[in-house]
Copies of this chain bind each other. A is one copy, B any other.
Amino acid sequence: MTSTAPAPAAPEDLLRGAGLRVTAARVATLRAVGERQHATADDVLGSVRAELGTVSVQAVYDVLHALTDAGLLRRIEPAGHPARYERRTGDNHHHVVCRSCGAIGDVDCTVGHAPCLTPSDDNGFVVETAEVTYWGLCPHCR
């Protein structure tokens, strides 16, 4: 059947498009991250195991790294909390992190667009990316 609708790219195609081998663990991981807001490695492990049965911890970390390196996932590492992964990549958006429970929200940085993404003095560093993290309390914790 030839649909003309621009169906949301299937995990398999995303993987092939990124030059990665298609494996059950990768497909399941991609789906698991997509079904959740900001998944931790543990969340993914749970979802993937529910779908495929036995999957090693290492496999999930390997997959998460491979997908992140390939640009299919973005890793967020809030201080004091385990890393989280999301599928929104490429758009320079930021995050609000609850300092109490660690909940995370997306923030489109539209206010004045490009913020101070260019440091006033780069100390000789070659700056590649700027990352903004907002800290506060989520609706549930306050």
Chain A contact-residue range equals: 35 or more
A2 at the interface (CB under 8 A from B): no
A127 touches B134 (CB 8 A): yes
Inter-chain contact A108/B121, CB cutoff 8 Å: yes
User: Which B residue sits closest to A76, measured CB to CB?
Assistant: B79
| Residues of chain B lying within 8 A (CB to CB) of residue A125 | 96, 98, 105, 134, 136-139
Query: Across the interface, do A134 and B119 meet the contact criterion of CB distance under 8 Å?
Result: yes
With a cutoff of 8 Å between Cβ atoms, the chain B residues found around residue A53 in the complex are none
Within 8 A of B (CB), among A87-131: 94, 96, 98-99, 105-113, 115-116, 118-131
Contacts A109-B119, A111-B116, A123-B106; A131 near B133 (Cβ below 8 A): yes
